[in-house]
Amino acid sequence: MAGKSILHKILILAIPLFLIVSIGFGLFYGYWNSASPKKTCASCHEISASVEMITQSAHRNLACKECHGTALSNGVNSLREKGMMIINHIKGVADEDVKLNEVQILGVMDNCTRCHKTEQARWLSGGHSARYQDIFLNAKHNKTEQLNFDCLRCHGMFADMSIGNIVEPLDTTGPWKFKINSVSARPVIPCLACHQIHLAGMPQPRPDYSNPQNLFYGRITSNSLVSFYTRHDKIHVSAGNLPILKLWEGVRLVKVSSDPIMRNCIQCHAPNAGHQAGTSDDRTPRGVHEGFSCITCHDPHSNNARQSCNKCHPAISHCKIDVKTMNTSFLNRSSPNNIHWLSCTDCHKGGRRK
């Protein structure tokens, strides 16, 4: 029975060893999760860039785990990710392009919404909280336009899979279904589609209370608030670095707002490649509202534009009537006078009302 006694010995040795290692790990792990990121997470140079960025951002006072959870709380994926980083670290290959996968992005998002309840509630009330099932199983859309990789540019940008691994069949006859059911309720435009977190920002200074007139001049203009995530390069581009749309109405160049935030909107609500006004999903204001940014009317999270008219009208109304009651798509969805490109001549032909 020699075999059995060896096993015995191994067990006798192994159990205390296991306990010692576990206790040691537990102590260390406790320290790890509470110590300053500079001493822990950032000591791994693969992620020191991420740390450096966040120390300059609005979230500079938050511990990593507020958003990322702990090394173990995200389960297997998190462990695997960190495990791979360590393997590469030992091999001497810097794997700086550590990126979160979609499940991790959505995990982080659950943490954003812990603190940002208002924005979450607004987002939930608008079209941007659409889910995979709303976008990819829409029979009318799928019959007219065949599903392809490009759909994921504007909705589903964090998907780790190709379109063919999400929906089948890839044709215009259907019926369509998901290959993996767990994707169906995932949001297609999560917070991180428009927000980058590890981004050098400009925290606002505390004001000079003794002289309120100075407050205006002490404010810092920051473009760090909004970004756009491009699936193609898997990076965020901050709104200030996004291009301004050049839009043509026939041969006339439309005046387009230079508001950085509108540059985010028009990445998805975009005209065709020829940049002709009104093509594809273009809603760029022309006519009476030409040059306005989308968010002068639309709330950035709910998209609601119901309350916006009062910000400017009737003070600037030419017609001396409440604009909300006029014949536009605001009042009536079947009105020919679309609010986005309404002009005086739509209603007044040759100086007179039509």
Partner 1 sequence: MDLPDKLSRRRFMRLAALSAGGIYLFSRCAGPTAEWRFFTSSEARLMDALADQIIPPDEWPGGGESGVTNFIDKQLTGPFLRFQSEYRKGLKGIQDSSETLYHQRFENLNWKEQTSFLELMEAGKMNEPVWADGFDLKFFGLIRDHSMQSYYGSSRHGGNRDNISYKMLKLDYPFIVGQNRYKS
Binding residues (CB under 8 A) for partner 1: these are 21, 25, 28-29, 32, 39-40, 42-45, 48, 71, 76-77, 79-80, 82-87, 89-90, 92-94, 96-97, 140, 144-145, 150-151, 154, 160-161, 165, 180, 228, 230, 232-235, 237, 241-243, 245, 266-267, 269-273, 275, 279-282
Q: Is 316 in the site for ligand HEC (CB under 6 A)?
A: yes
Judged by DSSP in three states, 168 sits in: strand
Q: Minimal distance in Å, beta carbon 252 to partner 1? A: 18
Residue with smaller CB distance to partner 1, 5 or 36? 36
- Stretch touching ligand HEC by CB under 6 A, among 25-33, 70-78, 111-119, 207-215: 111-119
Cβ proximity to partner 1: between 86 and 215 the closer is 86
Tokens of 303: 């998209």
Residue 112 contact among partner 1, ligand HEC, none, beta carbon within 5 to 8 Å by kind: ligand HEC
Q: Is the peptide bond before 212 cis (omega within 30 degrees of 0)?
A: no
C-alpha–C-alpha distance, residues 121 and 71, integer Å:
29
Give which of partner 1, ligand HEC, none residue 261 binds (C-beta under 5 to 8 Å, depending on kind): ligand HEC
- Write the burial class of residue 336 (CB in 10 Å: 0-12 exposed, 13-18 middle, 19+ buried): exposed
The span from the CA of 305 to the CA of 294, in Å, is: 10
For the four alpha carbons of 68, 69, 70 and 73, in that order, the dihedral sign comes to negative
Q: 91 with 53: CB under 8 angstroms?
A: no
Q: 145 or 160: whose CB is closer to ligand HEC? A: 145
The residue (of 70 and 317) whose beta carbon lies closer to partner 1 is 70
Q: Which of residues 28-47 bind ligand HEC (CB under 6 A)?
A: 37, 41, 47
d(CA 249, CA 275): 9
Closest CB to partner 1 among 13 and 31? 31
Pairing of strands 252-253, 248-249: antiparallel
At 2, list the tokens: 């020699």
